[in-house]
Each structure stands twice: as C-alpha cells, then as structure tokens.
Amino acid sequence: MNVVITPAMVGQVVISGLLAGALYSLVALGLALIFGVMRVINIAHGTILMLGAYTTFWSFHILGLNPYLSLLVSMPLMFLLGVLLQRTFVRRVVDAPELSSLLLTFGISIALVNMAQLAFTSDLRSVEFLTGAFLLGPFAFSKSRVISFAFAVTLSLFAFWFLQRTKLGKAIRATSQSREVAMVCGINVQRIHLYSFGIASALSAAGGSLVAVMVAIQPEMGQVYTFKSFLVIVLGGAGNYPGALLGGMLLGLVEQLSSLFLTTQVSEAVAYLLLVLVLLLRPTGLLGGRST
Amino acid sequence: MKRAFQVGLAVLLFGLALYPTMASGYGIRFMLQLFMWVALAQSWNLISGLTGYVSFGHVAFFGTGAYAAGILVTTHGWHWVPASLAGGVAAVILALLIGYPCLRLKGPYFAISMLGLNEVMRVLVSYFEGLTGGGSGLSFPTQPASVQIYYAMALSALAVTGAAYFIITSRFGLKFMTIREDEVAAEAMGIDTARYKLGAFVLSAFVPGVVGGLFARDTGYIEPISVFALIITITMIVMALFGGKGTVWGPVLGAVTLFVLQELVWARFLFFYQILFGAIIVVVVLLMPRGILGVLQQRYHLPRTI
Amino acid sequence: MQTRPILEVSGVTKRFGGVTAVNRCSLSLARGKIYGLIGPNGSGKTTLFNCITGLERRDEGEVRFKGGRIDGLKPHQVARRGIGRTFQIIRVFPELTALENLLVVTQGPFEAARRRAEELLRFVTLDRLQNEYAGNLSYGQQKLLEFVRVLMTDPELILLDEPAAGVNPTLLNELLAAITGLRDQGKTILIVEHDMKVVMGLSETIFVLDYGEKIAEGPPGVIQADARVIEAYFGR
C-alpha cells in the first residue's frame, strides 16, 4: 500500500466517522430500547428504516416536502406501524424462547421488504437535496451529512432526556431493569412494550429519513442497518443505552478509518471483524452491560 | 405404522435411485434441485431446529462451497466431485472461525452474526477478483453431468437427513438437543454445550458447502449475488419451518411441498411469493411451531421419528 | 484425625453491579453427611449454589472439591468431577421423554445406563411414563425426574435447590427417605429448602445466610434457638 496518509486525511476521516456514527447511534438506540424492554432483537428494525427512507422520498418527490420536514411524517407513521406490529405479532412471543421472536421479526421483515419491492419496485431512488460541501480550514463538510448529524444528535439527546426525565421514560427504564418490579409498581407493562416498540420504530424511521438524502434508497437497504445497529449494541453493551450512543460513534470511526486503507465496500467486512473481535475479547461489550 | 413407513421409505428410495434411467433431462434437473433444497433445509434444521440456534446466514456456507469448488475446478483443474467435497471443508473452516466466538454467547448474538456473515462473504468474494473473478463471476468450461449430480445431490440430502435422524434417536445425538431444551441444565449435568454447539454448527455447514459446489458445477456459472443471495437462506428457513423444525422429516416435507409449488406456480409472481414466505414464517411461529408435521404428529399420535 | 472435607468454600464473594449477593462466605462439608442451607428470600443461597457449580464466576474466594480447586471451571467440568445439582425452577428437557432425560446425561455402556435409568424411574414411580415427554408430566413428577436425573451421573456431592417444593405429601416422604438413603451410601448432600420441618428433620448441620453472609452454623437444635437467625427471619 503506497498511499501517503496525511494528518489532514486522518482529520477528515474522523469528521466523517463522527458524522456517520451519530446516525448509527440514533438507529441503534431504537434497537437497544426494544431489546432492553422486551429482550427481543427486532430483525425488522432496519426494514422500518427503509420504510422511513421511502416516506421521505415520496413526500419529497410528490409533494415537494423538505426532506428534513418529512421527519414529521415518517416518525409518527412508523411509530404507528411499530405499535401495530407489537400489538398484533410481537406481543405474542415476548415470553417465548428467543428463537420465536427472532424468527417472527425475520418473517415480518421479509414480508415488508417484498411489499416494498412490489409497491416501489427495486429501482434505486435518491433524494437530490442539499448536494455539495463547504470547506472549513482543510476539511470538507458535506452539507447533507452535517445537517443529518445535527438532527441525529438532537433526536438522540431528546430521546435521552425523555428516558431520564419524563414519567413514561422512567417507566420504560424501570421495565427494562426488571419487568416484575415494574409490574409491582403499578406500571402497565403491556403498554410500555407498545410505546417502546413505537418509539424505537420512530427512531429508526428518523434514521431512514436522514439517510435518504445521502444514499440510494431501495427495498433491501435496511438489513445492513439491522446488522450495524446490533453491532453498536454489542460494542456498547447490551441493555446499556448510553453505550449505544458511544458504540455508534465508534462504529462510524472504525468504518471511516478502515476506508483510508481499504475500499469502502470492504470496510463493511471490517465492521464484521470488529463484531467478532469484541465477542471474543469482551462479550459483555466494551462499556460493560447486562449479559443475556 | 412404523413398519409401513419404513417399507414405504425403502420403496421410495429405490424408485429415486432408478429414476434417472427413465426420466427426461428436465425431470432430472427438477429432482436434483429438489434434493438440493432438502439438503439445505435439513442442514438449517440441524443447527436451528434441533440445537436451537437460529442461523440467518446459512447461505454463506453454500456460497463458500460454491466458490471453493469453482476455483478448484476452473483454475486448478480438479474433478468436480473432490472439488465439491473441498467446498464442504471450506464451509466447515468458515463455520469454525465464526462459530467459536459467536456460539459462546446466547441466541441473538449468533443469529445476527450470521445475518452479517453472508454480506461480508459476498463483499470479500467480489473484492478478491484475482481469485474469484469478482463481480463477473466464474464459468465452468465442462460439459453437463446432470445424472451424476442428481446422485450426488441425493446422497447429500440423504446424509444430512440421516444426521438429523441420528440426533433425534441416539443417546449421543440427544445431547445436541439438550442445548435447545435447556442449555444451563445441560451444562450442570456435565454436557459440554460449547463443544456440542460447535459440532452441530460444523455439521450443519458441511453439506451446504458440498451442495454449493455441486450447484456451481450444475449451473456452470456462479457470481457473488447468485450464490450469496439472502433469498436462499430465507427459502431454506421457510421450508424447514413449514414442514416442521426439530423433526427428521419436516424439512423434507417442507422442501418438497414448497419447491413443487414454487416451480409450478409462484415463480411467476416473485415478490408475491416472497411476501408469502414472510407470512408463512409469522404464521408458523405463532400458530404451529412444529410445522405441518408437528400438527400431523399431534393429531395422529405419530412417533417423533416420523 | 479428621479426614479432609469433600467441599471447602472459603471466602467466596459474588457481586452483581453494586449488590453483593454472597459476601465472604465459607462452608466446609464432610463426606457422607446431609447439610442444610437456609436464609430469607434473596439471602444468596442460589447464588452460592451457582458459584459452587460454576454457573456464576465468583469474584473472590476459593472453592475446593476433594482438595482440588474448582472455582473457575466451567459448569460441565464441575459436574464431571462429581457434583450434581437440581434447580429451584424445574429444568428438565421438556421435549425429550422421561427416559431420554436420564439417558442423555450418561456416558459409557448404553445397556447399563438404561437399566439404571429404568430402575430410577421405578423408584420414583415414573416407570409407566418413561416414554412421555417430560414437558407433559405434572409439576411434582418433573421435580422427581430432575432429582433422579442428578443420580444418573452418580455424583459424590449433590446440591438440591428446594427439592420439597410442590411435591405432594406421599411422595415427599419417599423423597426424604431417598435423600437419607443416598447419605447412607456415602453421598454428601447440601439442601436449600424453605420448608423448615424438612430441612431441620434431614440435616445434621445447617448454615444460615442473611444478606449474603453466613450468620450461623450448627445442628438444627442450636440454629432454631440462635437469636441472629430468629432476627434474620422475623426481625424485620
């Protein structure tokens, strides 16, 4: 490898890594929430992100709606879809062996992806909005990435504030600590599950709307986000919500750093290697957390 | 009952052994694909149905086997039979590399690691163009050998079904099932669950690797998106679930039913039938966890080995 | 001269986050005796069992079995050395038959294992249900099945986590007789039990845990009169 790596390149990579990482954090927070509250890994999490991205695409394409304003559409819409999925399906497997919930959400994901194929075709779509970059010193900032980053950070912080300060948020945290204790304290656990799934789906949809302006949209785009969100949870420690935020940033950095040396495609393999390494060396996550 | 079943099975196997002598080319190719799906669904059943660890990326072994065999045949001039077996060995090596870290942990870690594995293998195979031909794929120069591949596929399906039978009926095999039943209790009773899990995983990876090699030889051309396709994993899972996971004959039943339907009807409505696949998974998980065979077993009080 | 204890737990501590579940606990068990382990709910009895059998990694302290260190071993390794256990919540293999539940944990000659399994099933009056799936048995029957499953591997030390809970009175007497019988064969037994009549009747020595600490140790009569024990149970 005879590429010369300058400090400026490293700085650029760190910036890109953090910009990408904030989105990973946002999406992973949703997956962590469902896992924390119900001990269910939602394989359809990335699928919901894909639907969020399509919501943004169509509202931009047909209505000319500003993609960032479309968060106001995609988030409530996917909140409702999440609630519906929880109410009709996931609710029935919360206490079953994890094999059931994994397979169930996998089935839901397949059905949704192919409905999207049928409805939207597998053509690659994109939202042409805020292209280009601005320069700050030696570093280039892609406009859409910076704005997405700002949205992702704001939403994540808001989600945290919500979990820490509001009554519903506290009930959610109590339920993820111990369902029995939450029940004894008079918390309606079924309702908490419903809200958690809804909120998690809204977070994933927000991620979808935000990536819609940056990447190609197609029905199978979600799977990789399910995988990466899971990786983020593993990095941060299962059941550890702040860990999910840090894990996302870390994943963004590692991916971008590896793209200095390898092609972008292979940096996906690097993320995988990272997962395997963490599982080997620190199975409870880098930041510690509850083991499953 | 059991006797009748055994006799029927023997007659069926005999018939299948003679089938190529009287069938058309289309019939042979239809059947060899059917055997391939039986082998794949049954392999998934070994790790996920019997041992209880869900694999969402089993096609990675199929693809790895296909490429390993493909490279050996095209660039090293191997005969396709040893090359396919080497494909199985390559899949086993991959299973050991992934299984050791991922199987030490509980279900979800393993499941999602497998989901990612498939993507990664596809990316890596595309990346190492010199070896694999990258995105343009590998072509086999040789002539068709459908009849031989028919027997090889049949043997693969038989071998992995035999393994499932062995697990369900032998004392040694039952140790694999204790992992699904209660891993903690199994450990406390002196069963080295980590070793048995890895064993089951390796077993479930070998045949897809071999079958991948045979598939490559049969179609004569492979590329990353065709042999690392998520839909292959989905299909084997749906077949095993629909017929009945955790049983010997469920995956066979599921593969036969769904493959026939797929060939005759659904292939014309691609996305519809994939939506249906998703729906089948949901319905089976919620309403009939042991699939069609489980329902039959319960209704007619059949022994578990049928 | 006293022979070396079969099990020595010395200074074992186990923490979960900020909670100390077991705190510098030490026990010593002599071969061929029945011991009781009691304490209020959440006093760390099951956690201590888990530390002995390797299901939990202890944070501090040592566990020795027949003189050799076993802390740090994996559960199956501990089991192979000769420690068997049952669980508070029943853990049979539900989709294996009663007979298979017993056979699957054995090694060595098959015929001998099957004879032993059938004999044990007869002993707990489950012989007619040997081909029934364990998950279809009643609660009490599953409990008995789990009990005899431990015996299949012929362990020298047996840890029983609430063996009497949910077993009907007739069977209970047989179960108690069986436990004493095992002791007479030279096995060592450690029982966690909430039913005071059972534990006081069986045990020669009783350990009392409270908030993860051993607060008393002695024969049943002494324990029943111990002020700290009474306080632990009723004082709060």
Query: What is the C-alpha separation between A285 and A289, in angstroms, rounded?
Result: 7
Digit-coded pLDDT (tens) for C106-162: 988 999 999 999 999 998 889 999 999 999 999 888 999 999 999 999 999 999 999
Does the beta-carbon distance from B187 to C55 stay under 8 Å? Answer: yes
Looking at this protein, which amino acid is placed at residue B266?
Answer: W
Strand partners, C84: C158
pLDDT in tens, A257-275: 888 877 767 777 888 888 8
Query: What integer pLDDT is reported at residue C157 of this predicted model?
Result: 96
Q: What is the ipTM of this complex?
A: 0.91
Cα diameter, chain B: 57
- Within 8 A of A86 by CB-CB distance, chain B residues are none
B66 and B212 in contact (C-beta within 8 Å)?
yes
Tokens at C26, concatenated: 């030490």
Half-sphere exposure of residue B23, counting CA atoms within 13 Å on the CB side? 17
Residue at B250 is within a domain: no
How far is Cα B286 from Cα A287, in angstroms, rounded to an integer?
36
Confidence of residue A195 (pLDDT cuts 50, 70, 90): very high
- Which residue, among B114, B148, B120, B110, has the nearest Cα to B236 in the 3D structure? B114
Q: Which residue has the tokens 């519809």?
A: B272
Q: Is C106 on the interface with B (CB under 8 A)?
A: yes
- From the list B52, B113, B234, the residue facing A99 with the nearest CB is B52
Please tell me the distance from the alpha carbon of residue C78 to that of residue B190, in angstroms, as a whole number: 7
Look up residue B300 and give its two tokens.
Answer: 């007619």
What residue type is B58 in one-letter code?
Answer: H
DSSP-assigned beta bridge partners for residue C161: C192
Q: Where are the alpha helices (DSSP H) in chain A?
A: 7-38, 45-63, 71-88, 98-120, 143-165, 167-177, 179-184, 189-212, 223-236, 241-261, 264-281
Question: In this structure, are residues B178 and C93 in contact, taking their beta carbons and an 8 Å threshold?
Answer: yes
SS (HEC) of C183-215: HHCCCEEEEECCCHHHHHHHCCEEEEEECCEEE
Tell whether B118 is within 8 A of chain A (Cβ).
Answer: no
A166 DSSP assignment: S
Q: How far apart are the first and last CA of chain B?
A: 10
Beta-carbon separation of A230 and B123 below 8 A: no
pLDDT of B105 higher than 80:
no
Taking residue A215's Cβ as centre, other Cβ atoms within 10 Å add up to: 12
Per the prediction, chain B carries an average pLDDT of: 92
In a domain, B172, yes or no: yes
Domain count along chain B: 1
Mean pLDDT, range A24-45, rounded to an integer: 94
For B:23-82, CB contacts with A below 8 A are: 48, 52, 54, 56
For the segment C65-99, what is each residue's pLDDT rounded down to a tens digit?
A: 999 999 989 999 999 999 999 998 899 999 999 99
Nearest Cα residue to C53 out of C91, C30, C25, C85:
C85
The pLDDT assigned to A291 comes to 40
DSSP B13-74: HHHHHHHHHH--HHHHHHHHHHHHHHHHHHHHIIIIIIS----S-THHHHHHHHHHHHHHHH
The residues spanned by each domain of chain C are 7-234
Contacts of A16 (CB under 8 A, 6+ apart): A145, A252, A256
What CATH class has C7-234? alpha beta
Which of C84, C100, C105 lies nearest to residue B191, judging by beta carbons? C105
pLDDT category of residue B284 using cuts at 50, 70 and 90: very high
- Among the residue ranges A116-125, B132-141, C57-66, the one predicted with the least confidence is B132-141
Query: What is the Cα gyration radius of chain B?
Result: 19
pLDDT tens, residue by residue, C4-22: 899 999 999 998 877 889 9
| Highest mean pLDDT: which range of A171-175, B111-115, B148-152 | B148-152
- Tell me whether residues B192 and C85 touch, CB distance under 8 A: no
Q: Which domain holds residue B60?
A: 26-228
With a cut of 90, say whether residue B86 has pLDDT above it.
yes
- Cα distances (angstroms) measured from residue C192 to each of C49, C145, C197: 9, 18, 13
Strand C188-192 vs strand C157-161: parallel, antiparallel, or unpaired? parallel
Integer Cα distance of B304 and B290 in angstroms = 11
Sheet holding C68-69, edge to edge: C19-29, C7-16, C60-65, C68-69
pLDDT at A292: 35
**Cβ contacts of A276 within 8 Å, gap of 6 or more:** B98, B101, B102, B113
| pLDDT of res. A3 | 64
Place of tokens 């894990």: A247
Q: Is residue C21 helix, strand or coil? A: strand
Q: Spell out the domain ranges in chain A.
A: 21-246
Distance from CA of B262 to the nearest CA of A (A): 16
Instruction: Tally the C-alpha atoms within 13 A of residue A15's C-alpha that lie toward its C-beta.
Output: 17
Give residue C236's pLDDT band: very low, low, confident or very high (50, 70, 90): low
Residue A287's pLDDT band (cuts 50, 70, 90): low
Predicted local confidence at residue C4, as pLDDT: 86
For chain C, percent of residues with pLDDT exceeding 90: 64
Interface test with A, best of B271, B277, B280, B288 (most A CBs within 10 A): B271
Report whether B214 contacts B68 (CB < 8 A): no
Tokens of B264: 């005759």
Separation CA B236–CA B36 (nearest Å): 10
List CB contacts (< 8 A) between B187 and chain C.
54-55, 74-76, 79
Nearest to A255 by CA among A51, A8, A93, A14: A14
The DSSP secondary-structure symbol of A125 reads B
> Helices A264-281 and B80-102 meet at what angle, rounded to 10?
60
User: Residues of C50-83 as b/e, b for ≥16 C-beta within 10 angstroms?
Assistant: bbbbbbbebeebebbbbeeebbebebbebbbbbb
Q: Which token pair is C53? A: 């059998």
Which is higher by pLDDT, A237 or C24?
C24
Confidence of residue A2 (pLDDT cuts 50, 70, 90): low
The predicted model gives C46-58 an average pLDDT of 93
Is there a contact between B277 and A268 if contact means CB atoms under 8 Å apart? no
B115 contacts in chain A (CB < 8 Å): 43, 223, 226-227
Helix (H) / strand (E) element for A136: namely strand A133-136
